[in-house]
Amino acid sequence: MADQYQNPYLDSSVFIAWIKGEVVNGVDRKDIADHILGLAEKGSFKINISALTLAEVHKKKGAESPRLEPDEDEMILAYFEHDFFNIIDVTRDIGEHANRLCRQYSLLPADAIHLACALRAKCDVLLAWDDRLSAVDHPQIRTENPRKIGQLNLLESIPEETG
């Protein structure tokens, strides 16, 4: 496993967790997303997303899940304009590849589009808080839940004074 992300792809679930400040089963998803996005802002890597993400972040998965508020929608759309994002267009080629991935991995169509886009961008990892997507075992890409790996926060690396 790599020490740090080199060319990550972020699923829409990461942005929803970030916007909504999600903490699930004791895992502070917002904090993890802040860390990853902060590294991208500082130039450690670019973040790859699908053009589908621009629409998909409007609503969390599941019929009972709330939609973003209008100000949250505008904030995230403006945020995606930063230079540290690489937006992969959903083309016919991506759609056909996603169709095959649906069958091969029993994915939902939107999840398969994310995987096809990540593969197109030659990402080293696809990060998602989506059990079905993060469980995919693909030979060309790691799929996993986002986490802080390899990169230390400055304050965490300073030893405490004693005495």
DSSP assignment of 27-87, as one string?
EEHHHHHHHHHHHHHTTS-PEEEEHHHHHHTTB-SSTTSPBPPHHHHHHHHHHTTSTTEEE
- The CATH number linked to 105 is 3.40.50.1010
Owning domain of residue 136: 8-149
In a domain? residue 1: no
**Helix or strand run (H / E) with residue 140:** none
In a domain? residue 54: yes
In a domain? residue 45: yes
**Among candidates 157, 110, 159, 161, which has minimal Cα distance to 133?**
110
In a domain? residue 37: yes
State how many domains the chain has: 1
pLDDT per residue, tens digit, the chain (163 aa), is 446 899 999 999 999 888 888 999 999 999 999 999 999 999 999 999 999 999 988 865 555 666 777 887 888 899 999 999 999 999 999 999 999 999 999 999 999 999 999 999 999 999 999 999 989 999 999 999 999 976 554 444 445 554 4
In a domain? residue 155: no
